[in-house]
Amino acid sequence: MSPLAQGLSSFQKWLQANSLHVAIVISIVLALAIPSFVSVVLELRDAERQAKIELQKNLDRTAEVLSASLIAPLWELSVPGVEAIVRAVASDERFVSVVVTELPRQRTFVEIYRIAGDTQGNLAAKKKILREGEEIGTVDIVMSLGPFLQTARIRAINILQRGAIVMIIALMAIIIVLRYKLLLPIRQLTGDARRIAVGQLATPIVYFGNNELGRVSEAMEYMRSRLLESFNYLEQQVAQRTSELAA
């Protein structure tokens, strides 16, 4: 048999011998991990939804400010001047692009693009530039949720890491309690049952308190004492019968 097969066989035997222990540990891990994971996912979704709402508000407000700042005829403004206004208003890292178009010639007057690391959740807004009720241009703005999403992911990872540490500490504490309050008493009762099965009735059963295991140990002790009384009675009967036959 190969070393790998021997290792698998040993692991299967260990798993069968400690199935209750393993089942308890898995149950505890799932009970602690699943709510934490679901909570983080729901928090991320809610935060993303709120961020989209705030981003849309900022987007509309920025488009309104830019359109109001460019009410002078674009042909009377210099490109550096318009670009300076755009950069001053759209200084946030969430801005992906700002394009100012001159009408009616549909000429791009100023366009500013930033390299966006994460284009997920981009939002766009388009605002007319009006002068005395006449449309003289448009402002097209694109903003990204990328920076927020990256911050939210880092925060989620930190929450998960802290949750994992808490879960490990709680798991270790629970395993210690279970070991001394459940697994060791069960192992002790199993050994007592085996001794009773082979007729070793002299050692009393250890009482584990007023709980489920205590009631089991009390019942086993009652059974042991009754069996011991029966065996002693039978031995006395056999000895008496033997002495009567010898006489």
The pTM assigned to this predicted structure is 0.55
Tokens 């021997």 sit at which residue?
6
Which residue(s) pair with 95 in the sheet?
143
pLDDT of residue 117: 54
Measured CA to CA, the distance from residue 207 to residue 205 in angstroms comes to 6
Identify residue 52 by its one-letter amino acid code: K
For residue 68, the number of C-alpha atoms closer than 13 Å in the C-beta half-sphere is 7
Structure tokens at 134: 């006449």
Q: What is the pLDDT along the chain (247 residues), one digit of tens a residue?
A: 677 777 787 878 777 777 777 787 788 778 878 887 888 888 878 888 888 888 888 888 888 888 887 776 655 667 787 788 888 877 777 888 888 888 877 788 888 887 655 556 788 888 888 887 888 888 898 888 877 777 777 887 888 888 888 888 888 888 888 888 888 888 888 888 888 888 888 888 887 778 888 888 888 888 988 888 888 888 888 888 887 777 6
pLDDT of residue 153: 78
pLDDT of residue 1: 62
Buried-exposed string 4-38: b where 16+ CB fall within 10 A, e elsewhere = eeeeeeeeeeeeeeeeebeebeeebeeebeeebee
